[in-house]
């Protein structure tokens, strides 16, 4: 559905995208995972024909993003990262406006947005600017969907949205996928990667790996352990000072570690006890997307 | 399209600031210009230092004071007081009548009057001294009807179209030009820049809307509102300042619409280079408003400008519009007399229109 071949983009001297390649299939829910400033938004803008790439070519549904930009604009739905609706227009007016812009009506494609819009219905007279973050995002999605696009581009749709709304949002995306809409979504939240069929990990304008979320975690090269103790703050410091470890990253209240050589848990346990830690737990852990991301980042550097 | 226009009206009607600029400002501006910018003289403070104090000099003073243009503030009896009087700011001019005024006047051997005007405001000073000279001359003619000067060229002036020299005739066309420029150009440029700022332009661009549709959708409401504004100003000018409309009202409004469309194309042009509302506003202010006020002949006569500025004033659309407005309103000219100016504005409209559609970016940055 989306084909990207060697796309590069620079802003002045800053390299925003560096030789990006990937393809998505029709009806696929594809995720671009990476921190802020990784180049996700630039890539979205190039694919939605809003920005010209410096090098390479890309197409959406067979249409070239540079040459056929007019065709692309009538088949895509785009939700920019920033809330981009009219804050002084009501929920209903916003939706109506975007329906008209795409020469359709709310009624015609109501089935697509029904589930989402029903949650907004009680507030339909409220100005969009006065909605909560989660509501704004639902309205923006409705507006991007109202013309039944073939491809949906969602740039960081869950940023600034509460946990419950985020979960709801991903459920909605799964439903839209069932309706046959291809979706490209970006997010800085690693835990959301698992909701995608395939993901690309992107950092500093480069794609580090493309695979299914499972495939990516499977490819984690080392044995991973999760360490915890009563004194989490000192624990990080002590682990980082321990020579045998390759990595030590904080994950919530635990620290994920890998060893340089063969794992030696007993020695580590004694070291930590000597350093004054109590209630020490060292248990094997399955690598998550974030572990893989950190690992790939380390390899790149 | 219609959805776009409807949306634009919502934006305008829901924003208090927009409403104020659209409907409050034109009226306020008209009234301010009307009452403040005046080249007519009313009740200017003057002082008299009459060194003769004879019947003839008293009659002259009487004549000056009763003219209605002046208000006698002080009567001096020494030269030193004159200086102090000007410094106090109460008087704009002092009239000194020389000694033995009556005697010299009747003998016709040089009766002396000195007019001292405060030229820190040069305009007023020259008007005052002109008025005073006129009154003195009239006084002389009245008292000595048989006076024959050695060589006399009798000049008779007739002031055509505006015999009372009312400044309202001057500023109403100018004010209409400024307001239409302000509302049309500034408001459109700001409203397009706002779409960029809020990010909605990103969605509009990623939609099947074509540039001309976006532009037309943005501009149409302002054409309508500016047109209503133009009519309001003409009506208020007529009601409050008795501004006549001697020519065709239809022609007047037609020209106004042309000027509005021209201003809108300028507004769009400005918005294409302004990333934010603030930039759009500043650009409109400095690139449009100031030249309109200063170089269009509204306040400063074009004939008095240095040649360079005269050249620049030729590319000021408002210059031509003011000429058209004045011709129609004051002289009652028909289209035959203003077609050249109309053509110039039309040409500018086409030029800026094409330029702004060309410059309107179909992509971000």
- B14/A contact by beta carbon, under 8 A: yes
Domain limit, last residue, from B143, B178, B213: B143
What is the pLDDT, as a whole number, of residue A96?
Answer: 92
Please tell me the distance from the alpha carbon of residue B283 to that of residue B301, in angstroms, as a whole number. 25
A75 with A150: CB under 8 angstroms? Answer: yes
- B358/A contact by beta carbon, under 8 A: no
Report if residue B77 sits inside a domain: yes
In A, minimum Cα distance to B13 occurs at A88
Please tell me the distance from the alpha carbon of residue B30 to that of residue A131, in angstroms, as a whole number. 41
CATH number (domain holding residue A292): 3.30.70.100
In a shared domain, residues B244 and B103: no
In a shared domain, residues A107 and A249: no
In a shared domain, residues A22 and A82: yes
In a shared domain, residues A160 and A233: no
Q: Residue B15: which of A50, A74, A88 has the nearest Cβ?
A: A88
Give B321 or B110, the one with higher predicted confidence: B321
Q: What is the mean pLDDT of residues B243-263?
A: 90
Report if residue B151 sits inside a domain: no
Mean pLDDT of chain A: 90
Q: How many contacts (CB atoms, under 8 Å) link A and B?
A: 73
In a shared domain, residues B48 and B23: no
In a shared domain, residues B323 and B187: yes
In a shared domain, residues A116 and A206: yes
Distance from CA of A184 to the nearest CA of B (A): 15
Q: DSSP secondary structure string, B303-352?
A: GGS-HHHHHHHTT-HHHHHHHHHHIIIII---HHHHHHHHHHHHHHHHHH
CATH number (domain holding residue B113): 3.40.1710.10
What is the pLDDT, as a whole number, of residue B258?
Answer: 94
In a shared domain, residues A167 and A257: no
In a shared domain, residues A27 and A153: yes
Report if residue B159 sits inside a domain: no
Report if residue B251 sits inside a domain: yes
> Domains in chain A: how many in total?
2
Q: Residue B206: which of A48, A86, A88 has the nearest Cβ?
A: A48
Asked if pLDDT for residue B38 goes beyond 80, the answer is no
In a shared domain, residues B203 and B344: yes
In a shared domain, residues A117 and A151: yes
Q: Is the dihedral of CA B12, B17, B20, B25 positive or negative?
A: negative
Domain that includes residue B198, residue range: 2-37+166-359
Residue B232 tokens, joined? 């309001």
ipTM: 0.85
> Domains in chain B: how many in total?
2
Domain limit, last residue, from A211, A236, A270: A211
- pLDDT confidence tier of residue B162, bands split at 50, 70 and 90: low
In a shared domain, residues A129 and A267: no
- A251/B contact by beta carbon, under 8 A: no
CATH number (domain holding residue A119): 3.40.50.300
Q: What is the mean pLDDT of residues A128-141?
A: 90
Q: Which helix (H) or strand (E) holds A133?
A: helix A133-145
In a shared domain, residues A187 and A240: no
In a shared domain, residues B98 and B176: no
In a shared domain, residues B83 and B209: no
In A, minimum Cα distance to B12 occurs at A88
In a shared domain, residues A248 and A194: no
In a shared domain, residues A228 and A261: yes
Q: Do A50 and B202 touch (CB under 8 A)?
A: yes
B166 with B40: CB under 8 angstroms? Answer: yes
What is the pLDDT, as a whole number, of residue B151?
Answer: 54
Report if residue B184 sits inside a domain: yes
Q: What is the mean pLDDT of residues A237-261?
A: 89
In a shared domain, residues A87 and A177: yes
What is the pLDDT, as a whole number, of residue A133?
Answer: 86
Domain that includes residue A232, residue range: 220-300
Domain limit, last residue, from A166, A184, A211: A211
Q: Do A50 and B206 touch (CB under 8 A)?
A: yes
Q: State the residue for tokens 């030789």.
A: A19
Report if residue B148 sits inside a domain: no
Domain limit, last residue, from A186, A211, A236: A211
């Amino acid at each position: 559905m989306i084909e990207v071949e060697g796309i590069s983009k620079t802003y002045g001297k800053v390299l925003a995208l560096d030789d990006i390649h990937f393809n998505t299939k029709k009806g696929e829910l594809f995720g671009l995972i990476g921190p802020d400033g990784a180049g996700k938004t630039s890539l979205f803008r190039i694919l939605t024909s809003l920005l010209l790439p410096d090098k390479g070519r890309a197409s959406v549904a067979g249409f070239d993003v540079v040459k056929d930009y007019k065709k692309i604009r009538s088949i895509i739905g785009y939700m920019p990262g920033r809330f981009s609706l009219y804050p002084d227009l009501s929920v209903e007016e916003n939706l109506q406006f975007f329906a008209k812009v795409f020469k359709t009506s709310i009624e015609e494609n109501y089935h697509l947005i029904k589930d989402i819009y029903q949650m907004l219905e009680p507030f339909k007279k409220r100005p969009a600017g006065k909605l909560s973050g989660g509501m704004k995002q639902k309205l923006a999605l409705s507006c991007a969907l109202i013309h039944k696009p073939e491809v949906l581009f969602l740039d960081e749709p869950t940023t600034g949205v509460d946990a419950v709304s985020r979960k709801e949002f991903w459920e909605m995306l799964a439903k839209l996928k069932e309706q046959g809409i291809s979706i490209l979504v970006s997010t800085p939240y690693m835990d959301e990667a698992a909701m995608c069929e395939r993901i690309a990990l992107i950092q500093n304008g480069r794609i580090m790996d493309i695979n299914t979320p499972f495939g990516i975690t499977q490819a984690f090269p080392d044995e991973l352990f999760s360490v915890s103790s009563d004194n989490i703050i000192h624990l990080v410091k002590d682990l980082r000072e321990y020579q045998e470890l390759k990595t030590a990253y904080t994950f919530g209240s635990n620290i994920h570690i890998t060893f340089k050589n063969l794992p030696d848990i007993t020695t580590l346990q004694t070291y930590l006890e000597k350093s004054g830690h109590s209630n020490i737990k060292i248990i094997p852990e399955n690598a998550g997307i974030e572990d893989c991301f950190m690992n790939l980042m380390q390899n790149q550097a | 399209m219609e959805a776009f226009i409807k949306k634009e009206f919502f934006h305008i009607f829901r924003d208090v600031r927009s409403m104020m600029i659209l409907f409050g400002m034109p009226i306020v501006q008209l009234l301010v210009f009307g009452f403040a910018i005046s080249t007519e003289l009313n009740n200017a403070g003057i002082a008299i230092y009459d060194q003769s104090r004879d019947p003839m000099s008293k009659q002259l003073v009487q004549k000056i004071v009763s003219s209605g243009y002046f208000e006698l503030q002080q009567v001096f009896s020494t030269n030193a007081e004159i200086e102090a009087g000007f410094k106090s700011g109460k008087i704009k001019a002092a009239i000194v009548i020389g000694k033995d005024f009556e005697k010299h006047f009747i003998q016709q051997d040089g009766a002396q009057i000195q007019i001292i005007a405060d030229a820190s405001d040069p305009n007023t000073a020259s008007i005052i001294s002109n008025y005073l000279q006129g009154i003195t001359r009239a006084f002389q003619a009245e008292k000595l009807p048989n006076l024959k000067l050695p060589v006399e060229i009798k000049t008779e002036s007739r002031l055509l179209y505006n015999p009372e020299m009312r400044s309202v005739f001057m500023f109403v066309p100018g004010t209409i030009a400024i307001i239409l420029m302000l509302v049309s150009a500034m408001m459109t440029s700001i409203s397009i820049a706002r779409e960029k700022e809020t990010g909605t332009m990103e969605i509009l661009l990623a939609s099947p809307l074509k540039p001309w549709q976006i532009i037309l959708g943005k501009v149409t409401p302002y054409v309508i509102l500016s047109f209503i504004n133009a009519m309001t100003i003409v009506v208020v000018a007529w009601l409050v300042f008795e501004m006549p409309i001697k020519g065709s009202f239809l022609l007047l409004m037609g020209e106004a619409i042309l000027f509005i469309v021209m201003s809108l194309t300028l507004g769009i042009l400005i918005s294409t280079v302004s990333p934010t509302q603030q930039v759009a506003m500043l650009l409109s202010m400095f690139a449009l408003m100031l030249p309109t006020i200063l170089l269009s002949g509204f306040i400063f006569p074009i004939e008095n400008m240095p040649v360079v500025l005269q050249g620049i004033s030729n590319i000021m659309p408002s210059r031509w519009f003011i000429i058209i407005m004045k011709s129609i309103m004051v002289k009652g000219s028909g289209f035959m007399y203003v077609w050249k100016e109309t053509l110039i504005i039309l040409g500018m409209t086409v030029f800026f229109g094409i330029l702004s559609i060309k410059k309107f970016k179909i992509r971000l940055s």
